[in-house]
Amino acid sequence: MPRRPALYITERSFTLVGVIQLYIAASLDGFVADVDGGFDWLDPYNGDDDHGYGEFIEGVGALVMGADTYELFFGPLRDVSWPYGARPTWVFTHRSFAVVPGADVRFVSGDVRSVAEEVRASAGGLDVWLVGGGDLVAQFLDAGLLDVVRLFVIPVALGAGIPLWRGPIPGALELVEVSGYEDGVAELRYEVARDPANGAHAGDADADGVDGIPGAAGS
């Protein structure tokens, strides 16, 4: 089963902290967007079956995404409403962006370790959704901060596009659950393996440093 929320205990208090999870869709050949950064290929799979998204988003207290992902979804060329309500959304960027009206967007930069604790705290004990893109996912993996991967494999081969992974995955992913849907979509749930000696993610070089089908791209 997916990893349970962690209970962090100090001398004075205890805090229930949700997991940080990557929740994303990819084609059979491993792309999250087409060569133009588009998601039209996902439209046939955004029907009545939300593939568990409703239940998932109810358990999300905060989101994290990279600059390219934010711009792709909510940039000036996108006429879309903010879909995440009052949930804090952390955007890692060195650029300046307008904030989508009604959104709680928090722009940050630097090492993901430096803000991880604040991001978790902002989720209010619920999970943190790592939306993407590939570069930011790699940073969370390298820092040992990603707990769960929920990958929706769409029965489409794009041939080219923006890849899900930007490089090797440090450590190992443990497959904990597989779900299938009538439209051919398969959900694979992985937990990021941890080193039993110190509780850090396997392969972590610095353990102390500590709607519908999802999609993301960019950094």
Instruction: List, in order of start, the domains of the chain with CATH numbers.
Output: 18-192 (3.40.430.10)
pLDDT grade for 213, boundaries at 50, 70 and 90: very low
Tokens of 146: 């990603």
Angle formed at CA 72 by CA 66 and CA 73, multiple of 5 degrees: 95
CB neighbours of 28 closer than 8 A, spacing ≥ 6?
153, 154, 155, 156, 157
Give the global pTM.
0.80
* pLDDT score at 194: 65
Exposure string over 156-194, b if 16+ CB within 10 A, otherwise e:
bebeebbbbeeeebbbebeeeeeeeeeeebebbbbbbeb
CA distance 121 to 64: 13
Query: pLDDT higher for 114 or 207?
Result: 114
Do residues 5 and 16 lie in contact, with contact meaning Cβ atoms separated by under 8 Å?
Answer: yes
* pLDDT score at 81: 79
pLDDT in tens, 40-54: 999 999 888 889 999
* pLDDT score at 78: 61
